[in-house]
Amino acid sequence: MFSHESFPLITLFIILLLGGLVAFLHPVHALISWLRRRKERSSAHPAKEMNSR
């Protein structure tokens, strides 16, 4: 009876699912890359001090 509504509902569901996935993964990726940059900066920091002396 409502078969004409199935395609838009499936499309909407997939778009919302992708949006939810992006909304979850973006902060996780940002946190991981921030921690990685912070770790690289802290490990490179003493070497810069030694070179400046």
Q: What is the pLDDT of residues 2-49, one digit of tens each?
A: 667 788 889 999 999 999 999 999 999 999 999 999 988 888 765 555
Task: Please tell me the predicted confidence (pLDDT) of residue 21.
Answer: 96
State residue 31's pLDDT score: 94
Q: What is the pLDDT of residue 28?
A: 94
Structure tokens at 36: 């990685």
Give Cα 8 distance to the centre of its chain: 28
Q: Is it the case that residue 1 has pLDDT exceeding 60?
A: no
Sign of the alpha-carbon dihedral angle for 34, 37, 40, 44: negative
**Structure tokens, 42:** 């802290």
Q: What's this model's pTM, rounded to 2 decimal places?
A: 0.56
